[in-house]
Amino acid sequence: MPERLLAPDGSRADIGEFVHGGATLVYEDFGSGTKPIVLLHGIGMGRSVYIDLIRRLSGRIVGLDLPGFGEAPEPRRTLTMERHADLVAAFLRDRGITDAVALGHSMGAQIAAELAARHPDVVSGLVLAGPTVNSAARSIRAQAGYLLVDLIGERPKVLLRGAREYLRGGPNLIRKMRATIVHDAREAYSRVRKPVLVVRGQRDPMAPMTWCREIVDAIPGARYEEIPDHGHGTLISDSWAAAEKIREFLREV
């Protein structure tokens, strides 16, 4: 049985596994209310990296470990961003959720965009934080270089949590990174017709301002917010500023 990682002390959480199409995700569902926030982590990460953020949010929160990350077992085949979205949509329908606010960080933003584009019936809004992959740098070498630049300036808490989750992610990260790079996120963004908030850390080399502006221009009515003095891990540590922007957005969705 997966362990509780996100639910605040003393609160009840529904924790388990969901299997669909030969892939398994781990979920942790707690809190109450409409428009639950569904947390979609980045590559090499898991739901545990959102601990700092969820303490600053309220309502119903659903944290996911996607296949091959966190506590979720490795799938037989690496999932594309589209298959990830189909899996998450099947999970949401299984739980009767039709109004999710999908909050995706990095790779999770790509999955959130595909979720809204392919399965708009389960989504009421999107938060895209540090969205990848920059259309001007779609290569493993470029993305690895940006990641190294970002890590040099990141806070110790981000480095520790990230290192732990990357180790848990196993030896298949190159294949998973390739799946994010071959995905043309621009096509998905052009089909999104839901309220969208794009959040970027001011020092984030993996989600440069030009790329985030390109996303905002592709989605009607999308909003852009920049968090000063933060990098790619703006939702992982010292997340109060990002949480404030997210809370404002949620009141309008």
> Tens of pLDDT along 158-216?
545 555 555 555 667 778 888 888 899 999 999 999 999 999 999 988 899 999 999 99
- Region 28-39: mean pLDDT is 96
> Which phi and psi (to 5°) does residue 66 adopt?
-75, 160
Question: Would the pLDDT of 113 be above 90?
Answer: yes
pLDDT tens-digit series, residues 61-91: 999 999 999 899 999 999 999 999 999 999 9
117, 245, 125: which is closest to 187 by C-alpha? 117
For residue 45, the model assigns a pLDDT of 87
Using one digit for the tens of pLDDT, what is the confidence trace for 121-169? 999 999 999 999 875 454 455 444 444 444 444 455 554 555 555 555 5
Domains of the chain plus CATH, in order, are 13-252 (3.40.50.1820)
Taking the C-alpha atoms of residue 76 and residue 57, their distance in angstroms, rounded to an integer, is 35
202-230: b (≥16 Cβ within 10 Å) or e: ebbbbbeeebbebbbebbeebbbbbbeeb
Query: What backbone torsions phi and psi does residue 182 show, to the nearest 5 degrees?
Result: -75, -15
d(CA 70, CA 143): 22
Task: Please give the Cα distance from 180 to 83 (Å, whole number).
Answer: 12
Residues 198-213: pLDDT tens digits? 999 999 888 999 999 9
Measured distance CA(149)–CA(80) in Å, rounded: 26
Q: Is 41 exposed, middle or buried (0-12, 13-18, 19+ CB in 10 A)?
A: buried
As a whole number of angstroms, the distance between CA 241 and CA 246 comes to 9
Q: CA nearest 42: which of 153, 146, 128, 157?
A: 128
